[in-house]
């Protein structure tokens, strides 16, 4: 699935989920979605994305992006608004905003960012699309009789995946069918998102020059590769006026040197180590270290260790990780150490890494995931259950934690809570039918106490009502 910032055209993409949410638009100048309606539409789309293989499940990359996004949102016009940032595993350069504060970023864009301020500038731009309610405003300005054509355009572009030729053909169709005016309408939104994004970027302590630098490189890519230019340029029209406006605003600001965080450097190194073939990843990191061509030495050793783990050279991976650790403690080092021990089939040593790592970084999600899995493999189900149950108190939207909790309950022979945990995992994945099945299984076993069975029955009633609501035919305006 490829989702992009042509969201005005996504109205018809999921008719079973979205059509019933679409209000009577009335006069376009007045009819704009409420924040609650936008959130519900965004949640409907996210259910589909979460079921997609394209969505990256890596907790460290996702949590870094959400921490960066939260820092920017705190300095936006809607600092109290709920946002969720997620990663799409795709080598193309793109980012997009969905209704309701959901923002997606491709791994290719993260890797292309030459500074943390550049990456932050993209997020600030997308955050501004949401806070300025551009999606709702375009939809409100769209005549109902063009929605079908807009939806068809969306489907064509979503189906294009990373093929710029197909994207071009879809946009040509838009021009021929009179939809180009809608695209023109979004260009003003792009300029507005640039201006507000720059303010957010500066207020959050980042270098506003990052936006100008990113735009300049995108423009250069566009000239070099023409029809194979980054998808970002097709979904975010980068006109000469936009670039000039941003550059003029940035030039008027005092220079600010903002160093990249270690988190940013480690996340980029991790993604780079996962790119392409194993052999090439090892060669790239090895050569960069030999030639001292790196921005951060610790991150380079960490990336090299990650690549060596992929190549199953565990002893060298441990040596490189030890060199990375010389810069100081970091939870991503402990997670990688755990992965190396498990891959080398050293469960006892893996448990030692867990207990030491959790003592220093008790809230690091990837470490919790890895350690719970390690405890389950070692037969320490009670310890694993205690760990994930505590973590769920602050992260009840974590599918993997619910799955791990279900495994721990199963290992302890607790059938009712096992199936309740599985049901919650399926709910988060948007699979209400399977969630209902899990609760039905739980109630048939009758091995829980009165409280557990009552909770299962109450949740089953809730999910059946929700399932019934979602099956209702779309309301006609």
How far, in Å, CA of 442 to CA of 18, rounded?
Answer: 32
pLDDT at position 474: 46
Strands annotated E in 62-127: 84-88, 95-98, 102-106
Sequence-distant (6+) residues with CB within 8 A of 357 are 331, 334, 335, 337, 338, 364, 367, 371
For the cut 60, the answer to whether the pLDDT of residue 5 exceeds it is no
Sequence-distant (6+) residues with CB within 8 A of 201 are 72, 117, 120, 121, 124, 207, 208, 210, 211
pLDDT at position 173: 54
Centroid of chain to Cα 218: 22
Structure tokens at 440: 């039905």
pLDDT at position 470: 72
Least confident of 35-39, 172-176, 220-224, 288-292: 172-176
Spatial CA neighbour of 197 closest among 114, 107, 73: 73
Report whether 337 contacts 273 (CB < 8 A): no
105 - beta bridge partners? Answer: 87, 95
Quick one: pLDDT band at residue 351, thresholds 50, 70, 90? very high
The full set of domain ranges for the chain reads 7-251, 414-477
Please give the model's pTM, rounded to 2 decimal places.
Answer: 0.84
How far, in Å, CA of 245 to CA of 238, rounded?
Answer: 11
- Mean pLDDT over 159-175 rounds to 50
Report whether 120 contacts 70 (CB < 8 A): no
- Classify domain 414-477 at the CATH topology level: Methane Monooxygenase Hydroxylase; Chain G, domain 1 (1.20.58)
Percent of the chain with pLDDT over 90: 57
Structure tokens at 124: 């600030």
**Reduced to 3 states, what is the DSSP secondary structure of residue 28?**
coil
pLDDT at position 327: 95
For the cut 50, the answer to whether the pLDDT of residue 25 exceeds it is no
- What's the CA angle centered on 379, arms 378 and 385, to 5 degrees? 105
How far, in Å, CA of 290 to CA of 64, rounded?
Answer: 29
Q: What mean pLDDT, rounded, does the chain reach?
A: 83
- In the β-sheet with 102-106, what is the strand arrangement from edge to edge? 84-88, 102-106, 95-98
**Reduced to 3 states, what is the DSSP secondary structure of residue 210?**
helix
For the cut 80, the answer to whether the pLDDT of residue 381 exceeds it is yes
Task: Give the DSSP letter of residue 476.
Answer: P
For the cut 60, the answer to whether the pLDDT of residue 11 exceeds it is no
Which position has the token pair 């799409």? 88
How far, in Å, CA of 317 to CA of 325, rounded?
Answer: 12
Which position has the token pair 């040197």? 257
Structure tokens at 474: 């779309």
How would you classify residue 150: left for phi > 0, otherwise alpha for psi between -120 and 50, otherwise beta? alpha
Structure tokens at 290: 């030999």
Least confident of 334-343, 400-409, 427-436: 427-436
Quick one: pLDDT band at residue 76, thresholds 50, 70, 90? very high
- Mean pLDDT over 295-303 rounds to 98
How far, in Å, CA of 93 to CA of 116, rounded?
Answer: 16
pLDDT at position 223: 60
Task: Give the DSSP letter of residue 255.
Answer: P
Sequence-distant (6+) residues with CB within 8 A of 21 are 37, 40, 41, 44
Q: Say what angle helices 180-203 and 209-225 make with each other, to 10 degrees.
A: 140
Task: Give the DSSP letter of residue 471.
Answer: T
Which position has the token pair 């699309």? 129
pLDDT at position 453: 92
Which position has the token pair 């979602």? 470
Report whether 105 contacts 236 (CB < 8 A): no
- What's the CA angle centered on 28, arms 24 and 33, to 5 degrees? 55
pLDDT tens digits, one per residue of 229-267: 565 655 566 678 888 888 899 989 888 889 999 999 999
How far, in Å, CA of 354 to CA of 359, rounded?
Answer: 8
Report whether 101 contacts 93 (CB < 8 A): no
Task: Give the DSSP letter of residue 258.
Answer: -
97 - beta bridge partners? Answer: 103
Contacts 24+ apart (CB under 8 A), 356-359: 357/331, 358/387
């Amino acid at each position: 699935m490829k989702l992009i910032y042509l969201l005005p055209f996504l109205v018809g993409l999921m008719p079973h989920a979205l059509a019933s949410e679409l209000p009577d638009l009335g006069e376009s100048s007045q009819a704009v979605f409420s924040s609650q309606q936008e959130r519900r539409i965004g949640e409907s789309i996210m259910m589909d994305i979460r079921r997609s293989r394209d969505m990256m499940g890596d907790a460290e990359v996702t949590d870094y992006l959400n921490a960066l996004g939260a820092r920017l949102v705190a300095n936006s016009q809607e600092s109290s608004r709920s946002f969720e940032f997620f990663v799409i595993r795709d080598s193309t350069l793109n980012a997009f905003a969905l209704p309701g504060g959901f923002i997606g970023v491709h791994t290719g864009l993260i890797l292309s960012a030459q500074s943390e301020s550049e990456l932050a500038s993209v997020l600030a731009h997308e955050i501004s699309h949401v806070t300025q309610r551009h999606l709702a405003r375009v939809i409100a300005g769209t005549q109902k009789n063009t929605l079908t054509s807009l939806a068809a355009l969306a489907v064509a572009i979503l189906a294009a995946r990373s093929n710029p030729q197909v994207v071009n053909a879809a946009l040509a169709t838009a021009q021929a069918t009179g939809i180009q005016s809608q695209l023109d309408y979004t260009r003003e939104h792009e300029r507005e998102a640039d201006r507000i994004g720059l303010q957010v970027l500066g207020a959050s302590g980042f270098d506003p020059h990052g936006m100008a630098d990113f735009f300049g490189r995108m423009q250069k890519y566009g000239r070099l590769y023409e029809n194979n230019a980054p998808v970002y340029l097709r979904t975010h029209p980068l006109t000469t006026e936009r670039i000039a406006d941003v550059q003029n605003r940035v030039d008027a600001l005092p220079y600010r040197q903002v160093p990249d965080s270690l988190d940013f450097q480690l996340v980029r190194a991790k993604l780079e180590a996962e790119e392409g073939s194993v052999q090439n990843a090892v060669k790239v990191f090895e050569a960069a270290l030999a030639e001292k061509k790196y921005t951060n030495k610790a991150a380079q050793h960490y990336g090299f260790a990650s690549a060596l783990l992929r190549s199953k050279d565990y002893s060298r991976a441990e040596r490189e990780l030890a060199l990375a650790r010389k810069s100081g403690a970091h939870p991503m080092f402990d997670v990688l150490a755990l992965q190396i021990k498990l891959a080398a089939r050293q469960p006892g040593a893996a448990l030692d890494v867990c207990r030491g790592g959790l003592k220093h970084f008790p809230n690091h999600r990837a470490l919790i995931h890895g350690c719970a899995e390690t405890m389950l493999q070692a037969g320490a189900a009670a310890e694993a259950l205690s760990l994930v149950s505590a973590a769920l108190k602050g992260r009840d939207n974590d599918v993997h934690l619910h799955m791990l909790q279900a495994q721990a309950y199963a290992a302890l022979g607790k059938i009712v809570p096992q199936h309740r945990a599985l049901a919650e995992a399926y709910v988060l994945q948007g699979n209400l039918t399977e969630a209902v099945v899990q609760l039905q299984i739980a109630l048939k076993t009758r091995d829980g106490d009165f409280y557990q069975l009552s909770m299962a029955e109450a949740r089953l009633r809730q999910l059946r009502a929700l399932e019934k609501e979602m099956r209702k035919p779309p309301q006609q305006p």
